[in-house]
Structure 1
Amino acid sequence: MSRFVDLMLESARTRGADRGITTGEPKAPVRHTWAQVHERATRMAGALVAGGLARHGAVAVLAAEPVMIAPAVQAVWLSGGSVTMLHQPTPRTDLAEWAADTVRVLAMIDSKLVLLGSPFEAVAPVLDQHGVAYRLLSDLDEGDPLASPVEVDEDAPALLQLTSGSTADPKAVRITHGNLYSNLTAMAETAELDVENDIMVSWLPLFHDMGMVGFLTVPMTVGLELVKVTPVEFLTGPLLWADLISRYRGTITAAPNFAYALLGRRLSNVEDDSAYDLSSLRIALNGAEPIDEGAVASFVKQGSRFGMDPGCVFPAYGMAETTLAVSFAPLGTGLTLDHIDAELLEAENRAVPSPDSKRAFAVLGKPLPGLEARIVTETGEVRGDREVGEIQLRGEAVTPGYLTVNGPVPTQDDEGWLSTGDIGYTVDGQIVICGRQKDVIILAGRNIYPTDIERAAGSVEGVRAGNAVAVRLDAGSRRERFAVVVESRQAGDDEAERRIKKEVGARVFESVNARPSAVLVLPPGTLPKTPSGKLRRAAAGQQLAGGIAEEES
């Protein structure tokens, strides 16, 4: 039996009756203990095995309700299979296109079965048209309980996590039982999870690694209390997030930059300082590299009005290729910024401290137990403290490889190192992220990081927060340059657009000493994003190439 499944079973036996998951907020909250979730999972697992699910079989899940997803994924693991959370269609999705993409994903992971749950039963006819086998989650409850889990070893796949790349070709990170056990126990140790007192509150999507691993698998496996709502419920009323933390005395939560900025804005409109009580919060994890200090500052300022400790801000570095987490900042320290000399960073790839500099990056802590990090040059030379290069990682939590449409692809070199594609440096062993290697803009020998351009553009009045993107043009050539694309509710107003373009150009020049070759102002919802809400720079460049060319001319 894998250590991961052993831990999950032990937790269900020893703490399952006392700890559990609350779903259905805010309209119809209901709580199930982890013991009840496990009991349901054994019935589902019995139905899966009786239905022919083979050991190591890949099972895809398309559902939105956490109350159904929790026992379903546990059932797959009890059956010896692997889980893939499919990307979910939205009301705006072209179902024919979604179905074609889904069929490619199922072929890639060699899945013969989709588990279908609310509210996606309506896509069943689409799956029928493509010959995709599926079972309704509600029907699996009728199975006879599985007598004992199907045994698998540490190298067996547990989670095939779909990535959000900038290309049209799907890719899945193959996370093994050993990977999961290593990373979740390291996270529990470093975050000092307290099964007696900690309460997690989350709205993160379960098709994303932070939601699936961090805020479902971890609490279900170690036996933490969890309050789980869907992204739709949060986006419909963002203050629900603060309300749940208040009412349930939540101690741990997590979100990307945009959500903290959104909550900060909504809290600023609440006049009654006693409307919420956020004093119980000890960890507010932000794992979106690079962390937006403006979003954090807004969240801290407004959260403090409701009793929140600013030290609860918990910067982190993570990726699906390490199961989830790479590093956590020290508990209780809040956001620590490393101010450095911008010119030396751009010209010499050195992060020299400069307290008065506006250029600053978040310090993201030391690698978790079982992981090690190093910084290397393009030729593989290992760099020292405060020397900038590509981050490489090695350890038990690192995936052995990807599944792609062209077959398996290894992720590690002969010594076990994973090349992350992230550019950064270390400070006393703590990791600092500067940006993505493929996104760095090279002008006259200077390395310009797109996040600096985007922050400058985002400071202009009328630009939607978190919706400015720097697009690299003619990369690697002597004509390399960049454009800036922003979203604004004033798009279409000629006078407003001229002002925004002028101010964006000026702010960007002030920040990086280089002017964009073009500034494009577009309406909200135009910029391509990943399912987790991150901007896709390469896709933006491809999608908007025609408009950028017109602006340049």
Structure 2
Amino acid sequence: MLVATATTRGAARGITTGEPKAPVRHTWGEVHERARRMAGGLVAGGLAKHGAVAVLAAEPVTIAPAVQAVWLAGGSVTMLHQPTPRTDLAEWAEDTVRVLAMIGSKLVLLGSPFDAVAPVLDQHGIGYLRLEDLDGEPLSEVVSVDEDAPALLQLTSGSTAEPKAVRITHGNLFANLTSMAEASALDVDNDIMVSWLPLFHDMGMVGFLTVPMTVGLELVKVTPVDFLTGPLLWADLISRHRGTITAAPNFAYALLGRRLSGVDEEGKYDLSSLRLALNGAEPIDEKAVLAFTDAGARFGLRPECVFPAYGMAEATLAVSFAPLLGGLTLDYIDAEQLEAENRAVPVEPGPDARSFAILGKPLRGIEASIVDDDGKVLGEREVGEIRLRGEAVTPGYLTVDGPLATQDADGWLDTGDLGYIVDGQIVICGRRKDVIILAGRNIYPTDIERAAASVEGVRAGNAVAVRIDAGSRRERFAVVVESKHAGDAEQEKRLRKEVGARVFESVNARPVAVAVLPPGTLPKTPSGKLRRAAAGEQLAATLQS
């Protein structure tokens, strides 16, 4: 399909990169021709069929043909976690060596802006080729592989010291790609994707590179650094390119909403073209969504474009999409019955209600069911673990200890997510491992974190609830927040008091401690999600002493 698209629609649709300073557009046909030469170079250099290739680069203009080249040559792609200015390069190199051994790769394709790490790779005996130097005679014929051959070895979020890669086959990728295109009603002639998402994350790699490159959709692609340096660039790109589809996690929508609210010039942006603003990668925060839609309204943004989704790398990318143009729909349920009885009993909005986003029905080819701790299938509005099976579900992981199957004898994958079904649609409550158990109550950390984040001075999206003495009769929880006031004794005292009070109002339980940290110190995954377990480890010694 990818080759067919490149040789047909590839002349009309393509990818624009380099915004805003030096925009350049390449058609998918041009990307394909570059990929054929790169694939020729890979094969001539000894890449074998099913060979694993790691990529360390940030610029979409070089990543797109490199990924396609590896597939044309019959290999699999792994996007390496990228070092940041704060990364200890020696530790990063050791972790990278473990990842390469795990996936069986002896080759890294190295591109801007990571050329500077070449000496570190040399020092550790890691073979690499610079993307700018990768060239050869165009590959005359695609190296054919079976559907069950790996296409992507997607590194999971979390500690790279204990790496794990999701083995996404060509069959998985094609199944999820086509079902996503169907469920989102992709219009290849008129839709335009705009994205800054990192390509080492599944939403960026699959949703906002592989999909448009395969179906021949117009794509405007910048880097996460471009967005974080100037968040209003996102709105500017949607306006100038008449973007119809975009995606991001909560924090980005909240951030853009804040920046848009500070724009004085009327008509500076035009967001009326936006058809789908996908929200995924973590439990959806209605306050983040409202910040985005309220601030964007005066620039033509329609609230119904909000597109809640449930996804995970183990299902290639997407599990379910909310109904098109339905906006954010919340299910309000009784907090006490959720916590004590694992039932989602609908109630009117109010102080005793909990709200969760309704995430739509599973995509074509995916089944979902809810089970209790004994594996018994539960009914509608009964809360349990979500399990999945279907064409897009990975057959297994690669780990440092060898392959690990993900499916049981009947093909079911246990997701580790807790949720329920309502009218055939999936609702996510949280991660099983993060739920805090107090006196028989199941308290979801997102409720604690949203309460803490509502306190003035706490950085939006930077509050985390952590379990203390998890699984014991003494289980407790603490709250860690980031604030620009860290270090100011009076302000820290106020924050601890107000966070504690706000959390108690929300969940009727007090944290044993509230820690206030400077901005940028909370541990996060490479894709930007907070790492509750790592934050807990940081606090454990202090709180248990």
TM-score band by shorter chain is over 0.9
Distance 2:522 2:336 in 1: 30
**Alignment RMSD, CA only?**
0.9
Q: Which amino acid aligns with 2:458?
A: V
Residues 123-522 of structure 1: matches in 2 within 5 Å? Answer: 123-141=117-135, 143-165=136-158, 168-357=161-350, 358-522=353-517
Q: Deviations over 1:428-482 (max 9, x none)?
A: 1100000000011111111100110111111111111111111101111111111
How much does 1:546 deviate?
3.1
| Kept in 2: contact 1:483–1:518 (CA 8 A) | yes
Contact 1:520 1:548 in 2 (8 A): no
Q: Give the structure 1 partner of residue 79 of structure 2.
A: 85
Q: State the partner residue of 1:4.
A: none
Q: What do the CA deviations read for 1:116-173 (whole angstroms, capped 9, x no partner)?
A: 11111111111111111111111113x0000010000000000000001257300000
TM-score under structure 1 normalisation?
A: 0.97
Letter in 1 for 2:83: P
Unmatched 5+ residue regions in structure 2? none
Aligned to 1:52: 46
For 1:206 and 1:167, locate their aligned partners in 2 and report how far apart those are by CA, in whole Å: 17
CA distance in 2 between partners of 1:191 and 1:413 (Å)? 30
In the TM superposition, what is the alpha-carbon distance from 1:239 to its structure 2 partner?
0.3
Q: Which amino acid counterpart does residue 50 of structure 1 have in structure 2?
A: A
d(CA) in 2 for partners of 1:301, 1:120: 39
Unmatched 5+ stretches in structure 1: 1-6
Tell me the alpha carbon deviations over residues 355-406 of structure 1, each in whole angstroms, 9 at most, x when there is no partner. 1334100000000000010000000000011000000000000000000000
8 Å Cα contact 2:330/2:355 also seen in 1:
yes
**Structure 2 length normalisation: TM-score?**
0.99
Separation of aligned partners in 2, 1:285 and 1:439: 25
Q: Which residue in the other structure is 1:544 paired with?
A: 539
How big is each residue's C-alpha offset from its partner over 1:29-68, in whole Å with a ceiling of 9 and x where there is no partner?
A: 0000000000010000001001100000000001111000
The whole-number CA distance in structure 2 between the counterparts of 1:133 and 1:491 is 43
The answer to whether the Cα contact below 8 Å between 1:166 and 1:536 also exists between their aligned partners in 2 is no
Shift of 1:320: 0.3
Q: Is the 8 A contact 1:289 1:433 kept in 2?
A: no
DSSP 3-state at the match of 1:16: helix
Q: Which residue identity lines up with residue 109 of structure 2 in the other structure?
A: L
Opposite residue 427 of structure 1, the aligned amino acid is: V
Q: How far apart are the structure 2 equivalents of 1:348 and 1:341?
A: 10
- How far apart, CA to CA, are the structure 1 residues paired with 2:438 and 2:117? 49
Equivalent residue number for residue 3 of structure 1? none
Counterpart of 2:41, as a letter, is A
Matched, 1:70 2:61: no
Alpha carbons 1:487, 1:527 under 8 Å: kept = yes
- Tell me the CA shift for residue 544 of structure 1: 2.3
- Distance in 2 (CA, whole Å) between partners of 1:490 and 1:310 is 34
What secondary structure sits across from 2:307 in the alignment?
strand
| Distance apart, 1:525 and its partner CA | 1.2
| Cα deviation digits, residues 486-538 of structure 1 (max 9, x gap) | 11111111111111111111111111111111111111111100111111000
The number of residue pairs the alignment matches comes to 543
- C-alpha deviation, 1:547, in angstroms: 3.7
Q: Secondary structure at the match of 2:299?
A: coil
Letter in 2 for 1:415: D
